[in-house]
Amino acid sequence: MSTMAEEIDDSLYSRQRYVLGDSAMKRMANSNVFLSGLGGLGIEIAKNVVLAGVKSLTVQEGTICQIQDLGTQFFLRDEDVAAKRTRAEASLGRLAELNPYVMLKKADLDLTPDSDLSFLAEFQCVVITDASHSLLLKIDAFCREQKPPIQLIAGEVSGVFSYGFCDFGPEFTVVDSSGEEPKEIFISSITKDNPGIVTTLDNAFHGLESGDMVTFKEVKGMEALNGTQQTVTEISPYAFSICDTSAFGSYQTGGMFREVRLPKTEQYASMQDQMNSPQAVIVDFGKDASMSHLAFRSLHQFRDQHGQLPKLSDIESLCQIANKINQQSERPLDTVDRDILLHMAYTYITKFIPIFDSDIESLCQIANKINQQSERPLDTLDRDILLHMACTCSSAFAPLCATLGGILGQEVIKAVTGKFVPLNQWLYLDAVEVRKGLEDQEQDVFEPKNDRYDHLRACIGEPLCDKLAKLRLFMVGCGAIGCEMLKNYALLGISSHADEGKITITDNDIIEKSNLNRQFLFRPRHIQKPKSTTAAESSREINSALTIEAHQNKVHPATEKDIYNDAFFELQDIVVNALDNVEARRYMDIRCVTNQRALMESGTLGSKGHVQVIVPHMTETYGNTRDPPEHSVPYCTLKTFPATIEHTIPWARDKFESSFTQKPAMLVKYWAENGSPEDVMEKLRTNEAPEHTFAVLKLMKNRPATWQQCVARAWVKFEKNFNHKAQQLLSAFPLDHRTKDGELFWQSPKRPPAPIEFSASDDLHMTFVESYSRLVADYCHIPYSDADRQSQNITKLLADVKVPEFVPSNKRIILEDTPEKPDEDAEGDMSDEDIVRAISDLRQLQEGGRAQGAFLSMTPVEFEKDDDTNSHIDFITSASNLRATMYGIETADRYKTKRIAGRIVPAIATTTAAVSGLVTIELIKYIKGCVLEDHKNAYMNLAISLVMMSEPARARRTLI
């Protein structure tokens, strides 16, 4: 088994790298984690931790698989129950399939309050699930005593209630508190004063708070500030003060500042101290976390006192009484099966109500006693919370396991990397709304049937379970969120009814290796297979009763008429978005509004996620809200006046598209639409000049025929882009050029370019020439070998290349802030002279044999960011960094360039799991018929341990 500690496998971890960064990834790859408990919560945490890429995960779980476990534990199968395997034995192999870089181990021991805990000393993080508070207190004390302390994470899902807890020791260093990339902001002025006041250019928001630190560079006049770190005091969103600048030179122009992120030390109290004086994250202002804390403490104390959880009935006692009743009957049965026993016993359920009532009273007494001893006692106790917890505590609500498992999985990553702010220190989540109105249900609807849905049935009752089984659901997207959703659907038995119900899923994408890091239904053997069909197959492995129909279509106007028409939407009970772009979300929102179908909307961006509930006539729609507009850079900035690396990378990406994709595609389209060269000449003679004629002819005239010509062309392009254009700009606007207002033309943020002289000994220069040559050869169908691409051989070919000298031109330089790029290949009406010249050029190409057969064809290069062997990112990185060097901009590595050029959305499995669980809870609420006040929109940022839930906005109403 290999490790990624030395080198990160970018093909697998690329999306996660952009969330955590390389240093955190490498620290994680050297960490050892211990996890106790592989129930519904434990397996979710284990899945997320293995996908993330720790060095090793040791699991401890001796519980024998039960049929009920199949409703919460997605890595257990019927054969595991039949073979009476432990949860650890059944899960270990399937966990190992998730990530070849993680070593999975099984700890064959029992973890009790009397256990010797010395074995835990080898781990950097210990995770305990579904354990008693007495055991947790002992483990926490042990972890805090170690040097350095071991980070402890604990969690439990008890019915529709859950908690998470973190103790990262007396002192824990947070290396990066937010993960946000520090911005570089241009300076408008710096006063010479005590303190000096810095004002941003164009009133840009600096986003700083008092106490933050910044560093300066490229400041002119007040050069003493360059390279120094200064503590800031916020004055306004656009200004802040720093040190005494009165002794420095006067500020002239230019400069920028950048926030400096310094490690922070956080302190955590022990679990013992936190029991009586808890610090809890506020999740929902409508719920009291203190009551949840009290309820869990009471539940654990009840179990310690009574040796069991409170329950409505004891099955064995029920069976004994039922047998006794049967024996006293005038016509006793010879044999009675379990179902009949339960049914008969339920007839006399009043015998058991006092038992449960006594449990509730005992639980309430414990809660009152704990509350009185608390440092901040509650005025009144919520008996309903205690009742719902008592009713469901012997079960686990699967969607809640997914959400808490995602959140605590992220806490494990924080513990072993120091990346992001850990939980401080308790987190309480519940889905008690799914229980509202069930208090009056007959008790038999919650009774176990010894099947995979017993946990769910105990939480929501048999009628709602039946509705879920008969549900008709349409989900768009089978990526990271889609996979997590399907796993939840399988555990809940959605669309599992033999005759009714169906899940329809669609995704037109195929599986890539980079998907495996967070789309956990996929394995290496699935690469290049359709996402939708593969996800459906993997979901049926979790629950074979599911009815799933998998499509490979895109949901857009082109499929609206014949496939996803109004009739299709009208057949659906609910629609779920698992999409990754705004345009598709808006389209789905319109379709659901048109057909009055509820829509569950969600999305993630790195550690951030959101959930939006959209119910017809109840809530606002997705279209009622507006995402912040994407920041657009004026075309003149990209074209002529770049100021940051974020300007040069899009420029290089645009060069790739125009040079290797758009122009070859234009040529192919031109000849496909206009026929043979003879046909084109005839059209020219009759003044029917085809569009793009001159651009196509220029492309054909400059088309290389050999590898050597490709190399020559690459050097010519180097000179044009990184030498001649700089000379042209400086000839039009010399360094001392002034505007009409008398201001210097070249002042911040404009940077004057400096022409680059090509050098075959410079790796950056040679990377550009090699990658450009290769890409031209690819679209022109010119063969080359690996030896041809070697620097020494390219250098030999360059010796014979004649590069044109620079000649100033009168071409207009765009200075206006034009937001869009003009069509450089657009052509106006052709004059008679133009037509004669075009015919002449085409004849010359014919005479040279370059206007026939293969010369009329090219293969456009389609950008592929995840193939490191195709030179696509090599070209963009080299072109961007050459342009940055020309303008005096700090260059970027291949890693950052790939993210920006590839428009890669940072992603991590933990956020996806947490979001999918919340969406599934809202789905169940909708099917149950919950009112607006019971639904919850959610926003989370796991980097800063933020989870916020709020009531959805009401639907807008218009009086007519």
Confidence of residue 709 (pLDDT cuts 50, 70, 90): very high
Residues above pLDDT 70, as percent of the chain: 92
Alpha-carbon distances of 782 from 135, 708, 774, 851, 859, rounded to whole Å = 70, 10, 9, 17, 11
pLDDT for the residue 339: 39
CB 880 within 8 A of CB 897: yes
Give the C-alpha separation, 533 to 766, whole Å.
44
Dihedral of alpha carbons 21, 27, 29, 35, sign: negative
Q: What is the pLDDT of residues 718-733, one digit of tens each?
A: 999 999 999 999 999 9
Q: What is the 3-state secondary structure (H, E, C) of 664-693?
A: HHHHHHHHHHHCCHHHHHHHHHCCCCCCCH
Confidence of residue 394 (pLDDT cuts 50, 70, 90): confident
Q: What integer is the mean pLDDT of 653-674? A: 95
| 604, containing H or E segment | strand 599-605
Q: What is the pLDDT of residues 246-291, one digit of tens each?
A: 999 999 999 999 999 889 999 999 999 998 888 999 999 888 888 8
pTM for the whole structure: 0.88
pLDDT for the residue 825: 53
| 925, containing H or E segment | helix 909-928
636 is an active site residue: yes
Confidence of residue 329 (pLDDT cuts 50, 70, 90): very low
Burial of 848 (0-12, 13-18, 19+ CB in 10 A): exposed
Task: From 715, 704, 875, select the one nearest 794 (Cα to Cα).
Answer: 715
40 phi/psi in degrees, rounded to 5: -60, -45
Give the C-alpha separation, 34 to 36, whole Å.
7
Q: What is the pLDDT of residues 429-463, one digit of tens each?
A: 999 999 988 877 888 888 899 999 999 999 999 99
pLDDT above 90 for 392: no
Q: What integer is the mean pLDDT of 921-931? A: 97
CB 940 within 8 A of CB 948: yes
Confidence of residue 300 (pLDDT cuts 50, 70, 90): confident
Catalytically annotated residue among 636, 710, 780, 930: 636
Task: From 912, 953, 766, select the one nearest 407 (Cα to Cα).
Answer: 912
Q: What is the maximum span of the chain, computed from C-alpha positions, in angstroms?
A: 115
- What's the whole-number average pLDDT of the chain? 89
One-letter identity of residue 529: K
Burial of 673 (0-12, 13-18, 19+ CB in 10 A): exposed
pLDDT above 50 for 331: no
Q: What integer is the mean pLDDT of 102-125? A: 94
Q: What integer is the mean pLDDT of 385-401? A: 83
